[in-house]
Amino acid sequence: MSILHLRDVSKHFGGLQALSHFDLSVPQGAIFGLIGPNGSGKTTLFNVITGFMRPSAGQIHFNEAPIHTQPAWRIAQLGLVRTFQKTSVFADLSALENIRVGCFARTRGTPLQSILRLPGERRERRAADDKARRILALLGMAAAESIQARNLPYGHQRHLEIAIALAAEPRLLLLDEPAAGLNAEETSVLMQTVQRIRDQGITVLVVEHDMKLVMGICERIAVINYGQKIAEGPPEEVSRNPDVINVYLGEDLEL
């Protein structure tokens, strides 16, 4: 069963065709990789799926429900949450506060309840704080709780991004180049983290240039070039595909 289904999705900016007739099915519970050269349309695809851009044509279904007309925040509340290519945290907020914002989608307190300070609203907020602490502990960042995100080391900031997304309790998590700028050791920690996330029942769709990561953890990979899907399949199969080698991997890739 597929959790995310794209049918014939196109996106153009004026005369530039960023995505053309793109079909994609992400199976429930998978770690699904999306690779392609720079400028091939990966981030546009992410933006279209998550509601940051409207597709020019085509349909996107998440859990059988159409989402291509929904605003980004609604899609996130449905359980489809993304991270960004460029490190995106709430820089002036503490690590705990960052994750608490992530809890927004799973809490219900209204502004009026806040002003009246109803007991339910207080309880919910304490619960959000507890949840944020649990997530921090899970990532081994408990000591960073009250440190401003801007003062965290880079590796921690990238972890924090994922923590914010996890706090929103996604069913499908979209990671946009999570390993960018990480060293080999940090990357292998990240790979374990992604696998742990999937083991909790969260499907992961990841865009990444780090082939070790993609080939190491993805069960299925789609390759995109000039806005079109040129190959899809298990890593071994894709890495032998002559088209893929030609446009992206190069001849002497060693795995």
Positions in the binding site for another protein (CB under 8 A):
50, 52, 71-74, 76-77, 81-84, 88-93, 97, 100-102, 104-105, 107, 109-111, 113-117, 121, 124-125, 128, 164-165, 167-168
124 or 186, CB closer to another protein? 124
In the complex, what is the shortest distance from the CB of residue 7 to another protein, in angstroms, rounded to a whole number? Answer: 23
In the complex, what is the shortest distance from the CB of residue 181 to another protein, in angstroms, rounded to a whole number? Answer: 18
What are the CB-based long-range contacts (under 8 Å, 24+) for 221-225? Answer: 221/32, 221/33, 221/34, 221/35, 222/24, 222/32, 222/33, 222/34, 222/35, 223/35, 223/36, 223/247, 223/248, 224/22, 224/34, 224/35, 224/36, 224/40, 224/41, 224/42, 224/45, 225/36, 225/37, 225/40
117 or 185, CB closer to another protein? 117
Query: Which residue(s) pair with 4 in the sheet?
Result: 26, 62
CA–CA distance, 42 with 176 (Å, rounded to integer): 9
CA–CA distance, 182 with 187 (Å, rounded to integer): 6
104 or 226, CB closer to another protein? 104
In the complex, what is the shortest distance from the CB of residue 192 to another protein, in angstroms, rounded to a whole number? Answer: 23
20 or 43, CB closer to another protein? 43
Query: Which residue(s) pair with 62 in the sheet?
Result: 4, 65
In the complex, what is the shortest distance from the CB of residue 216 to another protein, in angstroms, rounded to a whole number? Answer: 26
107 or 151, CB closer to another protein? 107
- Asked if 44 and 9 touch (Cβ cutoff 8 Å), the reply is no
84 or 226, CB closer to another protein? 84
CA–CA distance, 131 with 192 (Å, rounded to integer): 21
- Asked if 98 and 164 touch (Cβ cutoff 8 Å), the reply is yes
In the complex, what is the shortest distance from the CB of residue 15 to another protein, in angstroms, rounded to a whole number? Answer: 26
In the complex, what is the shortest distance from the CB of residue 99 to another protein, in angstroms, rounded to a whole number? Answer: 10
